[in-house]
Amino acid sequence: MSRIYFDNAATTALEPVVLEAMMPYLTTHFGNPSSIYSYGRETRLAIENARKTVARTLNAHPAEIFFTSGGTESSNTAITAAIRDLGCKHIITSPIEHHATLHATEHLYHTGEAALSHVKLLPNGHVDMEDLEHLLKTSGEKCLVTLMHANNEVGNMIDLQAVGALCKQYGAIFHSDTVQTVGHFPFDLRNTPVHFITGAGHKFHGPKGVGILYINENVKISPFIHGGAQERNMRAGTENVAGIVGFAKALDMAAENYEKDSSYIKSLKLYMMEQLEKHVKGVFFNGDPLGRSLYTVLSVSFPKTEKSEMILFNLDINNICASGGSACTSGADAGSHVIRAINNNPNQVTVRFSFSKHNTTEEIDRVVEKLKDLI
């Protein structure tokens, strides 16, 4: 029986066309981009062309795009720089951020470099904008607001424009972890009031180990990683040329096919909701799946029974890949901090299903059929 892969929020399959674009930089075009001879010049050109492609797709300036090893490094760089270089002494975040943000902010709090506040959540898991404004208004210090664009476990999305406008009003720095949305939504960074955003190639059919950090041109920060002069003295270390080329190619393709792919993937999510409601008693959907929500992610809570407690294990045995929460902590099942924050029901077990353009309604039918047995 072939495997069914419903964990695309964790990572996606590399597109063959993207691999094709990367191959020369893994084989014949192997030069170090910092070298001045022809081998180096051709890889340098590949990086700068990739930067232009990414900037054009996000409507940013190429000088605002920096290549990194992925979303975690990008978020850590932005958060740390806001505290150490931009004078922020108070971090405002939410309890349902990715650990790349949560652990970075907690670290800065524990070292005494910044105060830390968590904005309240509404019952549906959205950020309470009134509480956010209250925290900004009553803070005696310059603030960093770091809130993810789309939650990786339940899919809830913030309004970037609204949060950015509040930050502007109160003189705060705004960083958004956009790892789940870069490659899945159109961005217009020239007209979005945000100082930093992040992206990771493997979330939209690009390679792993490569990401971007967008730094607004009006922001000046120091490097987070020290060493050579790569990335315009901003990020030391020999560039992952093949990864960067793959990132740009995958992002370009995602933007080109956005209307078609997003509409198809959203139809899969809605179809699975309908089928689960029809066939599984007591099913509950976390977050705001029919409202302001990521079209790729569906978080489902099932009634806890002796059978359902082992649901992920049993899905795996049946060749179905899904996750219990954030895949980045899947090695140790400590339960999900996101689900605890918005639906702390001990009588339910939660599974995240996340879809891509490669999934089908037939796969959903097979999974629902199997879930009927497992619950």
Report the range of poorest mean pLDDT among 93-97, 199-203, 369-373: 369-373
Q: How far is CA 84 from the centre of its chain?
A: 24
The residue extents of the domains of the chain are 4-12+258-374, 16-256
| Confidence bin at 107 (pLDDT 50/70/90) | very high
Q: Please compute the mean of the pLDDT values over residues 282-289 and round it to a whole number.
A: 96
pLDDT in tens, 209-229: 999 999 999 999 999 999 999
- Residue 130: burial class (beta carbons within 10 Å; 0-12, 13-18, 19+): exposed
Q: Which member of 143, 167, 321, 328 is catalytic?
A: 328
pLDDT at 330: 44
pLDDT at 331: 46
Look-up of token digits 């981009």: 33
pLDDT at 305: 84
The CATH code of domain 4-12+258-374 reads: 3.90.1150.10
pLDDT in tens, 63-95: 999 999 999 999 999 999 999 999 999 999 999
DSSP result, 4-35? EE-BTTT--PPPHHHHHHHGGGGTT----TT-
* β-bridge partners, 300: 285, 351
DSSP result, 333-346? ----HHHHHH---T
The percent of residues in the chain predicted with pLDDT above 70, rounded, is 97
CA-based R_g, the chain, Å: 21
pLDDT at 329: 46
pLDDT in tens, 22-66: 999 999 999 999 999 999 999 999 999 999 999 999 999 999 999
Please provide residue 146's backbone torsions phi and psi, each rounded to the nearest 5 degrees: -125, 105
* 195 pLDDT above the threshold of 50: yes
pLDDT at 308: 82
pLDDT at 325: 60
pLDDT at 328: 52
Whether the CB-CB separation of 338 and 96 falls below 8 Å is answered with yes
Q: Please compute the mean of the pLDDT values over residues 287-311 and round it to a whole number.
A: 93
Domain 16-256: CATH architecture, name and number where available:
3-Layer(aba) Sandwich (3.40)
Reference 153, options 180, 184, 119; nearest CA is 180
Rounded (10°) angle between helices 129-138 and 160-169: 20
* 334 pLDDT above the threshold of 90: no
Q: Would you call 328 a catalytic residue per the annotation? A: yes
| Confidence bin at 332 (pLDDT 50/70/90) | very low
Assess whether the region 4-12+258-374 and the region 16-256 belong to the same CATH fold: no
Report the range of poorest mean pLDDT among 104-113, 167-176, 337-346: 337-346
Q: Where is 213: in which H helix or E strand?
A: strand 211-215
